[in-house]
Structures are given as structure tokens and as C-alpha cells.
């Protein structure tokens, strides 16, 4: 019987649901600190990046069997505070049009440039 090569997307509520070595191996040795497992875990464990602060972790991970093959730090946001580029103009325009802007999904390290 052939090996299962199908891919499965998992959305995780905490970066610590993935072994640090597996996450960092995907990031590579020259990755900025803001996408490394230790930084993301520190942001979540310190209470800086939590649903209560408007940074609800929703990390995107792609698995082939038990092997992590892709990952992206992601957060469901309920406001635009703490981002490097503020998007208040977009949020205001959406409100004027009667379109819900929040929650939104932000890919990248929280509270970082």
C-alpha cells in the first residue's frame, strides 16, 4: 500500500503545539527573530499576544502525515493596534460601506516591524 502523501491544514491556537525544532527548521537559520518559535511562544506565554489583547493565535500549519511541511504565524485581530502599518483608513472605509472589517487575519510576528 502506498504511503499517504496527502496534506492536511491545521490551525493552531498556540505555537507551542508544534515542536520548536520543527518550526524553526522551516524558518531556516537566517530567519528574523520575529518568526522564530521562541519569540512567538514568549509573546503568547507572556500574555502579549492573546485573544484578550486582540492577538488571537491562529497559526497556519501544513502537515504530511506527522511531518510539518509548512507553517506561518497568524493571528485573528479584533483591532489594528500594535501593528507596524496601521490600517485605520481601511477600517473606516469598510465601516462607512457597512462592511465588517474585523476580525481580520494577520500573517507575521505579533507586535513587530
Q: Is the pLDDT of residue 65 over 90?
A: yes
What's the confidence (pLDDT) of residue 59? 98
Where b means 16+ CB within 10 Å and e means fewer, 37-68 reads bebbbebbeeeebbeebbbbbbbebebeeeeb
Joined grid coordinates for residue 29: 537559520
Domain boundaries, the chain: 9-107
Model pLDDT for residues 11-62, shown as the tens digit of each residue: 999 999 999 999 999 999 999 999 999 999 999 999 999 999 889 999 999 9
Banded model confidence at residue 87, pLDDT cuts 50, 70, 90: confident
Q: What is the CA radius of gyration of the chain?
A: 16
For the segment 97-113, what is each residue's pLDDT rounded down to a tens digit? 999 988 999 998 887 76
The C-alpha atoms of residue 98 and residue 24 are separated, in whole angstroms, by 41
Amino acid at each position: 500500500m502506498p504511503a499517504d502523501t496527502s496534506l492536511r491544514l491545521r490551525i493552531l491556537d498556540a505555537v507551542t503545539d508544534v515542536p520548536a525544532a520543527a518550526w524553526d527548521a522551516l524558518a531556516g537559520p537566517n530567519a528574523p527573530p520575529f518568526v522564530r518559535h521562541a519569540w512567538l511562544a514568549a509573546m503568547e506565554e507572556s500574555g502579549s499576544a492573546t485573544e484578550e489583547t486582540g492577538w488571537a493565535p491562529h497559526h497556519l500549519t501544513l502537515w504530511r502525515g506527522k511531518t510539518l511541511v509548512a507553517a506561518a504565524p497568524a493571528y485573528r485581530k479584533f483591532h489594528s493596534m500594535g501593528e507596524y502599518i496601521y490600517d485605520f483608513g481601511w477600517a473606516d472605509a469598510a465601516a462607512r460601506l457597512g462592511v465588517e472589517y474585523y476580525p481580520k487575519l494577520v500573517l507575521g510576528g505579533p507586535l513587530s516591524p
